[in-house]
Amino acid sequence: MLSVHTSPLHQPGTGDAGGMNVYIVELAKRLADLNIEVEVFTRAASSDDAPTVQLAPGVLVRHVTAGPYEGLIKEDLPAQLCAFTHGVLRAEAGHRPGYYDLVHSHYWLSGQVGWLAAERWGVPLVHTMHTMAKVKNASLAAGDTPEPAARVIGETQVVEAADRLIANTAEEAGALSHHYAARPDQLAVVHPGVNLDVFRPEAADRAGRAATDPAGRLAAQRAARTVLGLPQDAAVLLFAGRIQPLKAPDVLLRAVAVLLERQPGLRERLVVPVVGGPSGTGLAKPESLHKLAAQLGISDVVRFCPPVGQARLAEWYRAATALVMPSYNESFGLVALEAQACGTPVVAAAVGGLPVAVRDGVTGTLVRGHDPADWADALHPYATQPELVSRQGAAAARHASAFGWGASAAATADVYAGVLHRPAGLLGSSRRRLA
């Protein structure tokens, strides 16, 4: 696997680390369980990065030196693709010919490297876009910077070169066809998954009883709020993710201001945690969200918290009344699945893959557009109707339970088998190597 711009070892929620990091880690581990050996090539971002790191049995991370360790942003990396490609080819040259059976690249920068490596080694190229420039540019947040033409050109080249394109949803497959002229025979839809061992309704109950037991869900919420220092009677509207215009945390803050203007009495029990760090264009003004909260007069209800690991993030989900995702675009929305797996309903924008991740009116609410007044309308029932939260939370846990990473890995292995022209059942009969 190729992941040029972000390492699977990095903490999701800040910088360029996010859902794609989780996707690569979880998918690689489950592929290894299927006897598919995985090596992930990523750019070394620190002089302390070891050349190789064993992420899990059967999963090796290789750090490639390409440009200075620090100070490079994602937009600088196209100039380092030659150096990165050299590092990948050099690693392969140390093995016997035919060591790697297949290349799976993630994001367009990796696709550029994968295109050359796959052609050099005479193996298939499978590519996952994760996000697309043309789609992002069609739904930019106000004042956000559009993706450059160079990325559009690079993505078009990768689509032309790939043997298979794995899309998260049928909608994403349609966008690949519409915007990039992907052929039907190239496209495969594989839904991402969720780690159901970590993200579950009750930390101590893997049987999932809290998914259907309101008392169990309430007990789990109380326990999580105690751990996190949150009031037991609070209405907790949680944002979790990278802080940048694309994710639209400002829409949540503006909606909360409208909500409190309409119903001032909610201020006594409303808590709005923002768990994550600046990323992308948000790095240019890292304090902008703090300033906005002050300008709106809601600093007393907003809590800014740094990114956390998965176990702690699961506590935040369990503590929340609802997760709020006002994003302008999401290829799928892994955070939405994680929250639902913990028994928490989701209020999300009706964009990208979120209508697949969230069942509108059943496991949460989908909101069209980004008008704060509309979002205030959508959030109000969650802040005032405990029975709604309980009912949708139980449905959310049941819904998310169908999205385990084992199913995603099996479907991905089927894609590999097809492009390698092997029956799926025989793919894991001997070790296959994936770069």
195 in a labelled binding site: no
Q: Is the dihedral of CA 5, 10, 14, 18 positive or negative?
A: positive
Query: Cα–Cα distance between 413 and 211 in angstroms, integer?
Result: 30
Q: Give me the residue label for tokens 């918290």.
A: 305
80 in a labelled binding site: no
344 in a labelled binding site: yes
131 in a labelled binding site: yes
107 in a labelled binding site: yes
320 in a labelled binding site: yes
Give the three-state DSSP class for 19: helix
Beta strand pairing status for 235-240 and 322-325?
parallel
Q: Which amino acid would we find at residue 114?
A: G
Beta strand pairing status for 36-43 and 59-64?
parallel
6 in a labelled binding site: no
42 in a labelled binding site: no
19 in a labelled binding site: yes
- Locate 364 and state its tokens: 């949460």
Beta strand pairing status for 59-64 and 52-56?
antiparallel
169 in a labelled binding site: no
Q: How far is CA 264 from CA 44, 298, 371, in A?
A: 50, 11, 20
151 in a labelled binding site: yes
* Cα dihedral value 420, 425, 427, 430, nearest 10: -150
128 in a labelled binding site: no
Beta strand pairing status for 346-349 and 322-325?
parallel
Please, what's the b/e burial string for 115-125 (b: 16 or more CB within 10 A of its CB; e: otherwise)?
A: bbbbeebebbb
How far from chain centre, in Å, is Cα 110? Answer: 17
11 in a labelled binding site: yes
310 in a labelled binding site: no
137 in a labelled binding site: no
Query: Cα–Cα distance between 137 and 144 in angstroms, integer?
Result: 9
For the chain, how far is it from start to end, CA to CA, in angstroms? 4
50 in a labelled binding site: no
23 in a labelled binding site: no
12 in a labelled binding site: yes
62 in a labelled binding site: no
74 in a labelled binding site: yes
308 in a labelled binding site: yes
318 in a labelled binding site: yes
* Helices (H) then strands (E): counts for the chain: 16, 15
Binding-site residues for 1D-myo-inositol 3-phosphate sit at: 5, 16-21, 74, 107, 131, 151
Annotated binding residues for UDP-N-acetyl-alpha-D-glucosamine, written as ranges, equal 11-12, 19, 242, 247, 308, 330, 338
Binding site, by residue number, is 5, 11-12, 16-21, 74, 107, 131, 151, 242, 247, 308, 317-318, 320, 330, 338, 344
Q: Which residues are annotated as a binding site for Mg(2+)?
A: 317-318, 320, 344
